[in-house]
Amino acid sequence: MKVQECMTRNVRIATLEASLRDVAQAMAVLDAGLIPVADNGRLVGIVTDRDIAIRGIAAGMEPDTPVRDVMSTDLKYCFEDEEVSSVLQDMGDIQVRRFLVLNRDKRLVGIVSLGDLVGNGEATHAGKALEGISQPGGQHSQAATH
């Protein structure tokens, strides 16, 4: 199965100037935990609900703080034509639960989560990915940097 068969296609994108409040409200409406951030049409980061909570609110930032102050700039992505099993392996290896999905022209076409992949018959591979993701620490641990 290819990623394009199970990804979320209609992705909301925030600007660098969007406030933590605006992005959190968008996440609530979309029932999403991640929103990509773009500057003049170019992806420059992502902001997660955890970024807002840990890097923003817990660090004393106000709700009107721009997302550029809390976003992650290390973008993790896969391509829409990749096999789900390969993407799950990558998720486990680098300990992330979501990837931006790009086409081969490197344009954002969606987001795929571990839940999307599990819900599409890849439970065995997903279990292995979750085992890797669940290991303490890793490059995306916010406890290590804040």
Burial (CB < 10 A; 0-12, 13-18, 19+), residue 31, is: exposed
For residues 54 and 92, is the Cβ–Cβ distance under 8 A? no
pLDDT, tens digit, 9 for 90 and up, residues 73-119: 999 999 999 998 899 889 888 888 899 999 999 999 999 988 887 76
The pLDDT, as a whole number, for residue 131 is 53
Beta-bridge partner residues of 104: none
Best CA proximity match to 45, nearest among 88, 91, 14: 14
| 34-39 sheet: strands from edge to edge | 14-15, 34-39, 42-48
CATH code for the domain defined by 3-133: 3.10.580.10
Q: Which residue in the block uniquely carries the two structure tokens 């296609």?
A: 9
Domain ranges across the chain? 3-133
For residues 65 and 20, is the Cβ–Cβ distance under 8 A? yes
pLDDT, tens digit, 9 for 90 and up, residues 25-51: 999 999 989 999 999 989 999 999 999
- Return all residues near 79 (Cβ < 8 A) that are at least 6 apart: 3, 101, 102, 103, 104
Instruction: Give the pair of three-digit tokens for residue 76.
Output: 């993790």
Read off the pTM: 0.78
